Structure 1
Amino acid sequence: MVPTPPSRVADHRLAFCSRSAQRGGVDGAWWPATTDLTGVLPDLLSVVGSMIGEVRRVVYDPRVWLPAPSRMIRRGVSVALDPYAMVIRESIYLVGTHTRDAVLYVIPATCDQRLAMSVLTAVSAPEADMNAHLIRDLVGQQAP
């Protein structure tokens, strides 16, 4: 579980919350610019890695992303990219050092900017007790 930083929407594409103990608990939401995982991962790994340690493994749902290699090298460190049909389709799982991890809900890259910003703001609210199901509802309820 990722330690929750101060409540804010970071870089307008990533927001953190406390992981809910309910089924589908997440540490935050991420709005990638594209479905090209290897293109958007370096920035994400930099931010999340500062909280969970150097990310060594990324588990992602291949139904959501373009095909990716099984490994990528980041700052001289090999990061395993493992496709896996996730229980919650819109999530990505990052494993850092010392068994720390982060689970993020992935807002579709094609999502309208106003909607994505609204969802990220809701996720980062201090009183938010978020899980993937609630975020999915936010995305669905606010869709035009």
Structure 2
Amino acid sequence: MGPLPQVVYDQLSWLPAPRRVIVSGCPVQLDAYPFELGNTLYILGGADDMIVLQVIPSSTDARTALMAAVAPPPQNEPSVTSWSHVRDRDLV
């Protein structure tokens, strides 16, 4: 993916973070945003690449964690292609 200039996180699941951090000498913008799906991080790359991570708390029982890991994303969550308008207009 190369440099990761932006991380978008669920504002209800995570503590507030600085708007910008330096990682390995590269600036990374951190943006809080309300998501339907909690414990979610969107890692945005420089060429419109994106990785979506849903964090499963370590306190989650094994069966629930496995079911969450294999479940399809909700229909109302943004798709990879629908994120460009959010990133460009609302978060930067």
TM over 0.5: yes
Partner deviation per Cα, 1:4-56 (whole Å, 9 max, x = no partner): xxxxxxxxxxxxxxxxxxxxxxxxxxxxxxxxxxxxxxxxxxxxxxxx22211
| Separation of aligned partners in 1, 2:13 and 2:58 | 10
**TM-score under structure 2 length normalisation:** 0.63
Q: 1:53 to 1:131 in 2, by over 3 A?
A: farther
Higher relative contact order (CA 8 A, sep 6+): 1
* Shift, 1:131, TM fit: 2.2
Counterpart contact for 2:14–2:39, Cα < 8 Å: no
- Flag the 1:92–1:73 CA change in 2: closer, same or farther, 3 A: same
What is the Cα deviation at residue 115 of structure 1? 4.5
For the pair 1:61 / 2:49, whether they are aligned, the reply is: no
Q: 1:78 aligns with which of 21, 24, 27?
A: 27
Whole-angstrom CA distance in 2 between matches of 1:73 and 1:115: 37
Q: CA deviation at 1:119?
A: 4.8
User: Could you tell me the TM-score, scaled by structure 1's length?
Assistant: 0.43
Note the residue ranges of structure 1 that are not aligned, 5 or more in a row.
1-51, 124-129, 134-144
- 1:118 has 2:56 as partner: no
Identify unmatched segments of 5+ residues in structure 2: 75-92
Whose helix fraction is larger, Structure 1's or Structure 2's? 1
